[in-house]
Amino acid sequence: MIGRFAPSPSGFMHLGHASTYLLAWLQVRAAGGRLLLRMEDIDPQRSRALYADAWREDLEWLGLHWDQEVPAQSSRVSVYLEALRQLQEAGLVFACHCLRKDMNDAVRAPHKNWGNYPGTCALMGFPITDSVALRLNFAPNALVLRRADGACGYPLAVVVDDRDQGVSHVLRGQDLAESEASQVFLHQALGSIAPQCSHVPLWHGPDGRRLSKRDGAMSLRSLREKGWTSEDLMGYIAAAMGYLAHPEGCRPGDLLNAFRALPVRKEPVSHAEVLPLWA
C-alpha cells in the first residue's frame, strides 16, 4: 500500500486536517505500507513556502511521520503538460471561453473544482490555442486541465502525481468525494489505475460550516500557543472517531488497534464535540 499526505500549502493546518491526516496515517501504518508527503503547490498565487514548512512542522509535532517527501507540484509542470497532450490526442479536451474568474477558482480550490459545468463550450468546437482554457470532456464536471493563462489545473496534477508516484490508497476529506468519478476517468484515459479512495468526515465550526484555513482558532499553531499538547489534540480526535470513550492524551500509534476494529464514522464532527478546544 502506498498512501500520501497531500496538503495545499495556502494556509495553516487545522484540527480537521489533523483528523484526516491521522486517519490516512492509520490506514497506511495498519497495513505496513509507505506514506508519501507531497506539497500540492500548483497554484502559484496562493502557495507559500512558509505554509509548506508549517505543515511539515505540524505533522511532525502530531507524530504523523511520513516515509518520503516527493517533488512538489510546482516542479512538475512539464510532466502535467505532457499528460495534457496525451489527452488532447485522444480527443478528450475542449477549449473553453467561460469567465476568467471561474477559471481562477478552478485552479485554486480543490473542493471547488467539481461543480457541475453547464456545458456551454463543450459543443462549440473552439480551436485549441495557447491562450484558451482547456477542459476535460467528461460530464458533469468537465474539469479544468489548463487555465487560459497557461497555469496547470489542479485536477490534472493530482491524477498525474498519484499515477507517477504509485499511490494505491487515497484517504481525504468528504468535500473531495465528488471528484472521484472524474479522477477515475482521467486515470483510465492516461492508462493508469485509479487509487482506492476513502472519504472521511469533515469538522464543523460553531457556524455549522466546515472548518477552513481561515478558521484561525482551530489552527494547530494557535491551539499549541494556547497550551494544548499534541497528545491532548490526538485524544480529542480519537474520542470523536469513537476510538476512546473520553478525550485522553494519546499518540497516533496507540490508535492502530481501534482503527483496525472500527469502521470510520460517517457524520461530520460538530464543534460541540470538542468544546474545550474552542474556549
What cell does 31 get? 497495513
Nearer to ligand GLU by C-beta: 173 or 235?
Answer: 173
Site for ligand GLU in 20-79 (CB under 6 A): 40
Please give the residue whose beta carbon sits closest to ligand GLU in the complex.
172
Q: What is the enclosing helix (H) or strand (E) of 73? A: none
Kindly state whether residue 201 participates in binding ligand GLU, applying the rule CB under 6 A: no
* Distance between first and last Cα of the chain: 39
What cell does 215 get? 478558521
Write the CB contacts of 82 (distance below 8 Å, at least 6 apart in sequence).
none
Kindly state whether residue 176 participates in binding ligand GLU, applying the rule CB under 6 A: yes
Kindly state whether residue 141 participates in binding ligand GLU, applying the rule CB under 6 A: no
Nearer to ligand GLU by C-beta: 163 or 172?
Answer: 172
Q: Are strands 144-146 and 169-173 parallel, antiparallel or unpaired?
A: unpaired
Q: How many CB atoms lie within 10 A of CB 275?
A: 11
E strand segments, 15-164: 34-37, 68-69, 93-96, 133-136, 144-146
Q: How far is the CB of 202 from ligand GLU (least distance, A)?
A: 11
Q: How far is the CB of 195 from ligand GLU (least distance, A)?
A: 9
Structure letter (DSSP) for residue 269: B
Build a one-symbol-per-residue string for 90-129: x at contacts with ligand GLU by CB under 6 A, - elsewhere: --------------------x-------------------
Q: How many Å apart are CA 244 and CA 242, to the nearest integer?
A: 6
Kindly state whether residue 194 participates in binding ligand GLU, applying the rule CB under 6 A: no
Chain residues binding ligand GLU by CB under 6 A are 6-8, 40, 110, 158, 170, 172, 176
